[in-house]
Amino acid sequence: MLIAQISDTHVSAPEDPDDAVLHTSEHLARAVAHLNRLDGRPDLVVITGDLVDRGEVGEYERLRELLAPLRMPVFLLPGNHDDRGNLRRVFVDHAYLPRDGFLQYTVDGWPVRLVALDTHIPGEPGGRLCGERLAWLAARLAEEPERPTVVAMHHPPFAIGIPVMDAFGLDGSDGLAAVLRRHPQVERVLCGHLHRPIVRRFAGTVACTCPSTAHQVALDLPPANRLAFVMEPPACMLHLWLGDAGGLVTHLSPIADEYPAFTVHDGQGWVRDPRPPPGFHTA
Ligand SMILES: [Fe+2]
């Protein structure tokens, strides 16, 4: 089983001044094409929040159009830039989304179970897992203690050493850790929010964050103290389940235009790939 994760798509309206700078829709279109042409076709895609930039209906409609070409099911969860009501309104046919309350759900039917959490606090950049949300998580994890599981949510439950981002962290990470320690079937905690690839041991499992499909947060470690976005190459994460013996392996897959290998191995020796590299044209 292959789970693809993209994050922080931040789709905005064409008239939004940020749209002309960040080009988030063009970047998402590129990410969708990338996922569709992967040799190992993902079974599903999860987008770990900040789906759109201002939580507006028009933005969600644009997001919907951009995701339409995906050849696999896609699962959405909210980040701090999202709006639960507008997300529900535009994706009303996404039956896994609860009709009211927190946007939390499970995805079943594959070897690895996905449990999505809602860390959104309306109007605030930080996130929260309150008692109600954590109790829901504990109940879901208790349902299938033997099933390898990934927990997906927007705000990561740990600090990363970039001060301005750590200021918008997750309230409730201690409670989350307490739940996860009781459920060793959780192979991974998949997060977004930080627009960077980051990995950390957390509560007996592995927690990681996925880059944005568009703009990345600059890696400004102390003593730097600024919030800057840079157009580093975007990427998605591919979480590959190799069975009980092999476990869950996470790959970072840069999103770039397709480029051919110069050589391929045919089993006996190296041969030239007949396709020209990008930017070069045969006479
Ligand atoms: Fe974001």
147 belongs to a structural domain: yes
Rounded to the nearest 10°, the torsion over CA 47, 53, 56, 61 is: -50
Looking at the predicted structure, is the pLDDT value of residue 231 above 50?
A: yes
278 belongs to a structural domain: no
134 belongs to a structural domain: yes
Domain of residue 143 covers 2-272
Residue with tokens 């759109």: 52
DSSP collapsed to 3 states, 53-66: CCCCHHHHHHHHHH
253 belongs to a structural domain: yes
Write the CATH number for 69.
3.60.21.10
Task: Tell how far the Cα of 179 is from the centroid of ligand 1, in angstroms.
Answer: 26
Name the pLDDT band for 269 (thresholds 50, 70, 90). confident
Task: Tell how far the Cα of 212 is from the centroid of ligand 1, in angstroms.
Answer: 7
Task: Tell how far the Cα of 195 is from the centroid of ligand 1, in angstroms.
Answer: 6
Residue with tokens 């605030």: 124
How many domains are contained in the chain? 1
* pLDDT value of position 283: 43
* pLDDT value of position 227: 87
Angle at 113 between CA 144 and CA 10, to 5 degrees: 140
Looking at the predicted structure, is the pLDDT value of residue 264 above 50?
A: yes
Task: Tell how far the Cα of 41 is from the centroid of ligand 1, in angstroms.
Answer: 26
* pLDDT value of position 257: 67
277 belongs to a structural domain: no
283 belongs to a structural domain: no
Task: Tell how far the Cα of 230 is from the centroid of ligand 1, in angstroms.
Answer: 13
Q: Check residues 132 and 267 and name the one with the higher pLDDT.
A: 132
pLDDT in tens, 86-120: 999 999 999 999 999 999 999 999 999 999 999 99
Judged on CB neighbours under 10 Å (0-12, 13-18, 19+), 237 is buried
279 belongs to a structural domain: no
Q: Check residues 128 and 270 and name the one with the higher pLDDT.
A: 128
Looking at the predicted structure, is the pLDDT value of residue 78 above 60?
A: yes
Distance CA 152, CA 189 (A): 6
* pLDDT value of position 278: 57
